[in-house]
Amino acid sequence: MYRFYINNIDDDYHFMELARVFLPDDGFETIAYTGRPVAHLLGENSYFVNEAATSDREAIKREFFGLLSDLTGIRPPWGTLTGVRPLKPALEMCRQSSVEYMEQEISRKYLLSERKVSLLADIADYQLANVGGVPWEMDSLYIGIPFCPTRCAYCSFASNVASEEEHAEYLGNLLKEIEYAGALAAEHGTKLESIYIGGGTPTTLSAPQLEKLISKVSEAYGIDPASLEFTVEAGRPDTITKEKLEVLRSMGISRISINPQSMKDRTLQLIGRDHSADDIRSGFSLARETGFDVINADLIAGLPEEDLNDFEASLREIIDLGAENITIHTLSVKRGSRLKENSPEYYRKNAADVSAMLDLSREMLSSAGYRPYYIYRQKHQIGALENVGWCLPGKHSIYNIRIMEDKQTIIGLGAGAVGKVYYPKEDRLERIANVSNYRIYSERFDDMLSRKNEYYK
């Protein structure tokens, strides 16, 4: 057990998060401390950080990073950055001066590796050239469908296996929430920039249910789905039918997600998916026949028993299938997931292999004409690495960009939806969350409705 006394700080949270990148949770303790090092405190495996008593938190973190790196022999490529949104400080630096200035300053300030600095520069270049508008002048809408046909081994989302009767009850309440939220939006003159229906897997609903859902959104918000970016996740190919796709397409929706995670049948079995790679191929074929303009596909680097060759084969096939958006995720082992229960330290294994997968994905996608356009990180990701969204030029998702910018109000409807209100004058957000369990959502439905008023305080 290491003990780190961090001098001249009030809160050790950021230092604890940095230590977690290097050490298991039960392998260290960070202690906020003020004063001079006391000899009896500094026993075996105890260290005093910031003897100079600087108040510059980033300088203290750089010193702490160096100590942790010396102790463990590793140097994580994201340096002292531990947050979800590494692009935020990069874009701020770009807007202060230039992308070139950002590359120099972010490397100095946060100790990022050259490859991660280059990745941020590529994403910043794309967004600065292709994403216009003032984010807070319009809102986005997220609608959660918390059902899946099975639960994946790595999943901790608000997704459930439920009966058709439970689907129908949930949808009935959700339609009422959409109607209520739409009336508030009309009263306050809210305009939508994008709509995203996620989950879970929205296409666990039947074709008539999907039609009801899209019709209610269109009616409540007074919009034509074809007039703005409107995405529906069809992530699990075993939920895709021609009838469902035809309903979505006939109503003006042109963007869907089909998320393989892997194209290796053995891997799909290991992670608890009830479909094959052939089902993924069929889903793509049906979506193309139905006329969808943009298909997003997710792949995960670091899945059980997969090596670099497996990952390369999956990515090559998704590129060949013509997905306009491809998101490369690093496996995150979340609390509450089956993988976390079975192997609590899984995310600390195979960091070098997964890093090689990410490097390979960058080479392959760049060569195929894709551009990186958004990025985020999660806790307990293998190697403390990242998720990157890639797109063919002009095919980016504005919703994905806005939700990572943290400068737009996102209205969240349905079980598990977490909305946020942005206040541009103060540059701050307030979260407004619905409960995650769909049964509790129904039991406390009046409370869920009343929370919608908080978007317009």
Tens-place pLDDT, residues 313-323: 999 999 999 99
Q: Which element (helix H / strand E) includes 45?
A: none
Residues 37 and 162 in one domain: no
Structure tokens at 130: 């292709």
Q: Is the peptide bond before 79 cis (omega within 30 degrees of 0)?
A: no
Query: Could you say which of 75, 105, 121 is where a domain stops?
Result: 75
Asked if the model's pLDDT at residue 153 lies above 80, the reply is: no
Residue 329 in 3-state DSSP? strand
Last residue of a domain, one of 25, 47, 75: 75
Say if 443 falls within a structural domain: no
Mean pLDDT of all residues in 253-278: 93
Cβ-in-10-Å burial (0-12, 13-18, 19+) of 253 comes to buried
Considering the domain architecture, whether residues 151 and 39 belong to the same structural domain is answered as no
Contact call for residues 386 and 86 (beta carbons, < 8 A): yes
Same-domain pairing of 385 and 253: yes
> Does residue 249 lie within any of the structural domains?
yes
User: Mind giving me the DSSP string for 76-137?
Assistant: -TTTT--SS-THHHHHHHHHHT-HHHHHHHHHHHH---HHHHHHHHHHHHHHHHH--S-GGG
Say whether both 64 and 163 belong to one domain: no
d(CA 456, CA 185): 9
Whole-Å CA distances, 68 to 3, 27, 46, 165, 239: 11, 12, 12, 53, 46
Q: Are residues 375 and 304 in the same domain?
A: yes
Separation of alpha carbons 421 and 84, rounded Å:
18
Say if CB 441 and CB 123 are below 8 A apart.
no
Residue 136: exposure state from Cβ atoms within 10 A (0-12, 13-18, ≥19): middle
Strand partners, 255: 231, 294
Segment among 22-36, 220-234, 390-404 with least mean pLDDT: 22-36
- Average of per-residue pLDDT across 30-58: 85
Residues 212, 143, single domain; the answer is yes
Percentage, residues of the chain above pLDDT 70: 93
The amino acid at 161: V
Residues 6+ apart with CB under 8 A from 162: 147, 170, 438
Q: Is the pLDDT of residue 37 over 90?
A: no
pLDDT at 63 (0 to 100): 98
Q: Are residues 145 and 234 in the same domain?
A: yes
Closest CA to 223 of 145, 139, 135: 139
167 & 298 share domain:
yes
Residues 423-434 have pLDDT tens digits of: 999 999 999 999
Whether 200 has a pLDDT exceeding 90, the answer reads no
Q: Does the residue 97 lie in any domain?
A: no
Domain that holds residue 30: 1-75
**Mean pLDDT, range 97-125, rounded to an integer:** 97
- Above 70 in pLDDT, residue 29? yes
457 within domain boundaries: no
Q: Which two tokens stand for residue 399?
A: 């919703």
Q: What is the pLDDT of residue 335?
A: 57
Q: Is residue 94 part of a domain?
A: no
Question: Residue 297: is its pLDDT beyond 90?
Answer: yes
Burial degree of 89 (CB within 10 A; 0-12, 13-18, 19+): middle
Q: What is the mean pLDDT of the chain?
A: 93
Instruction: Judge whether 435 lies within some domain.
Output: no
Q: Judging by beta carbons within 10 Å of its beta carbon (0-12, 13-18, 19+), is residue 55 exposed, middle or buried? A: exposed
Least confident among 103-117, 195-209, 336-350, 429-443: 336-350
In 126-239, which ranges are E strands?
139-145, 192-199, 229-233
Q: What is the mean pLDDT of residues 21-28?
A: 93
User: b/e for 192-204, b at 16 or more Cβ within 10 A?
Assistant: bbbbbbbbbbbbb
Q: Are residues 14 and 161 in the same domain?
A: no
| CATH classification of the domain holding 237 | 3.20.20.70
Position 435 pLDDT exceeds 90: yes
154-169 residue pLDDT tens: 666 545 677 889 999 9
Contact, 310 vs 354, CB < 8 A?
Answer: no
- Are residues 287 and 395 located together in one domain of the fold? yes
Report whether pLDDT(422) > 80.
Answer: yes
Q: How confident is the model at residue 350 (pLDDT cuts 50, 70, 90)?
A: confident
Say if residue 190 is in the same domain as residue 316: yes
Does position 410 have pLDDT exceeding 60, yes or no?
Answer: yes
pLDDT(70) > 80: yes
Q: d(Cα 223, Cα 217) in Å, to the nearest integer? A: 8
For residue 148, the model assigns a pLDDT of 86
- Residue 324 DSSP one-character state: S
- Give the residue among 341, 337, 339, 276 at the shortest CA–CA distance from 303: 339
Amino acid of residue 357: M
Average pLDDT over residues 231-243: 94
Alpha-carbon radius of gyration of the chain: 23
Q: Are 441 and 173 in contact (CB under 8 A)?
A: yes
176: in domain: yes
Q: Is the pLDDT of residue 339 over 60?
A: no
Structure tokens at 318: 């998704």
- pLDDT band at 453; cut points 50, 70, 90: very high
Could you tell me the pLDDT band of residue 379, with boundaries at 50, 70 and 90? Answer: confident
* 71 and 145 part of one domain: no
Which of 33, 55, 75 is the endpoint of a domain?
75
Tell me how far apart the alpha carbons of residues 102 and 119 are, in angstroms, rounded to a whole number.
12
pLDDT at residue 338 in the model: 60
Total domain count, the chain: 2
455 DSSP assignment = G
Identity of the highest mean pLDDT range in 153-157, 305-309, 340-344: 305-309
Q: Is residue 161 in a domain?
A: yes
pLDDT of 378 reads 92
pLDDT of residue 399: 97
